[in-house]
Amino acid sequence: MNILRSLIAAATAVTVLSAPAFAEDPIKIGDINHYKRMAAFAEPYRKGIELAVAEVNAEGGVLGRPLEFVFPDDQGDPGEAVKIAEDLMTREGTVMFTGAILSNVGIALSSFAKEKNYLYLAGEPLADTLVWKSGNPNTFRLRVSTWVQAAMLAEQAAKTDAKTYATIAPNYSYGTEAVEAFKANLKRLKPDVEFVDEQWPALFKIDAAAEVQAIEKAKPDAIFNVTFGADLAKFVREGTDRGLFDGRGVYSMLTGEPEYLEPLGEEAPEGWYVTGYPWYDLPDGPGKDFVAAYETATGETPKMGSLVGYTMAKSVAAAIQKAGATDTASLIKAFEGLEVPSTPVGPLEYRAIDHQSTLGAYVGTLAVKDGKGVMVDWEYKNPVPYMPSDDEIRAMRPAN
């Protein structure tokens, strides 16, 4: 594992240092992301990429060439992301681009990829429009979709006696799609449920006191939460202080991910049913092996971003190897139905029908142990049973 740490350091500094071991120049990938604006997710994500790249290059690279990622920062701005993508593809010699955390940035990159006939692999953006309503031949996505995560939470909510719900979500594509998905899935399972209040704070500008007061006034039986990051911390603190969560089920997207759960510490809201990443409780197997390799290589515990970055880079390497070339047409063909046999969650596939991967999701209940929030009674769920039918997907995706 110390070898891996050295390899990562070399890859981070200058990939060219590895050049003497290879006969040809590196295959370059541009990862466009919000490295400063969303460092809590983006930095572990980058380290996951670097670990995967180090492993790939230690095993001989791809097509006899070293794999190299470059990491420009788009400041979380869709326009800036598109400018960077154009520069990467026309001046920097990258063969494709990856990245984005915020869905509005991912959607902009997807549209640009289609317009210019480039290939874009969205690692993290969760808005379903990326692969369904606005899906296009040039865009693929790794993360499990908003629809699927909401469906998993709705399935659990439907097992309770709760009849009235309030929702709170950031007012942009990811938040609106998450609420829409939760409503649709819960009403399908329990047609008599009612949604009595909706709160739409601006992203990272939540007025937690006002939001909590409005939800409390509606007196719902349960709450669906989509806030994350600093907004989540403020909502949890204010809601706890005012007793909003007492006696109410809360179903929450992403809250079990270490990036968002760890900062809450002992304030983590016990009893919430969440999606997340219980890296600290994985059984023997590829997931636990990845945790050990990541900890040894970086000196840090993994985050959800670490898993996403690592798996994305492994997917890129597998696609290039399958394509046997680096031109866009060959890479797109390779990604359609691509099987990645070895990832921290086991094998996954990029479905030809919608370019969505079969990476699943961990769901479970929050608890506090030793002053830290953790997921308990969790399980890893296959996403495919929660996806729309093939016919529904065909009807949603535009003709290309």
Residue 113: inside a domain: yes
pLDDT at 326: 97
Compute the distance between CA of residue 107 and CA of residue 74 in angstroms, rounded to an integer: 14
pLDDT at 9: 46
Domain count along the chain: 2
pLDDT at 400: 63
My answer on whether 141 and 155 are in the same domain is no
Residue 354: inside a domain: no
My answer on whether 262 and 316 are in the same domain is no
Return the SS3 of 121: strand
pLDDT at 23: 62
My answer on whether 275 and 287 are in the same domain is no
Tens of pLDDT, residue by residue over 93-113, are 999 999 999 989 999 999 999
Residue 314: is its pLDDT beyond 70? Answer: yes
Mean pLDDT score, 149-162: 98
pLDDT at 41: 87
Residue 8: is its pLDDT beyond 60? Answer: no
What are the strands, taking DSSP E only, across the chain? 27-32, 67-70, 94-99, 120-122, 139-141, 164-168, 194-199, 222-225, 249-256, 273-276, 339-340, 348-349, 361-369, 372-381
Mean pLDDT score, 382-390: 95
Tens of pLDDT, residue by residue over 118-131, are 999 999 898 899 99
Per-residue confidence band for 250, with pLDDT thresholds at 50, 70 and 90: very high
My answer on whether 53 and 200 are in the same domain is no
In one-letter notation, the amino acid at residue 66 is P
Q: DSSP letter at 383?
A: S
Residue 333: inside a domain: yes
Compute the distance between CA of residue 185 and CA of residue 190 in angstroms, rounded to an integer: 9
My answer on whether 88 and 193 are in the same domain is no
Rounded to 10 degrees, what is the CA torsion of 9, 15, 18, 23? 160
Average pLDDT of the chain? 93
Residue 355: inside a domain: no
Helices (H), 35-172: 39-58, 78-87, 103-116, 146-157
CB within 8 A of 81, min separation 6: which ones? 32, 74, 100, 105, 108, 109
Compute the distance between CA of residue 245 and CA of residue 225 in angstroms, rounded to an integer: 11
pLDDT at 14: 37
Lowest mean pLDDT among 81-85, 102-106, 309-313: 102-106
| pTM above threshold 0.85 | yes
Return the SS3 of 349: strand
My answer on whether 111 and 203 are in the same domain is no
Tens of pLDDT, residue by residue over 135-152, are 999 999 999 999 999 999
- Comparing C-alpha atoms, which of 16, 1, 24, 27 is closest to residue 321? 27
pLDDT at 172: 86
pLDDT at 99: 94
My answer on whether 64 and 98 are in the same domain is yes
My answer on whether 325 and 199 are in the same domain is no
Compute the distance between CA of residue 298 and CA of residue 5 in angstroms, rounded to an integer: 7
Domain range for residue 239? 147-279+361-396
Compute the distance between CA of residue 198 and CA of residue 109 in angstroms, rounded to an integer: 30
My answer on whether 238 and 126 are in the same domain is no
Residue 11: is its pLDDT beyond 80? Answer: no
Residue 356: inside a domain: no
Residue 71: inside a domain: yes
Mean pLDDT score, 180-192: 97
User: What CATH number should be reported for the domain holding residue 118?
Assistant: 3.40.50.2300
My answer on whether 123 and 157 are in the same domain is no
Mean pLDDT score, 145-166: 97
Tens of pLDDT, residue by residue over 27-75, are 999 999 999 888 888 999 999 999 999 999 999 999 999 999 999 999 9
Residue 131: inside a domain: yes
My answer on whether 232 and 208 are in the same domain is yes
pLDDT at 21: 55
Residue 375: is its pLDDT beyond 90? Answer: yes
My answer on whether 251 and 370 are in the same domain is yes
Residue 154: inside a domain: yes
Mean pLDDT score, 9-27: 55
400: burial class by Cβ within 10 Å (0-12, 13-18, 19+)? exposed
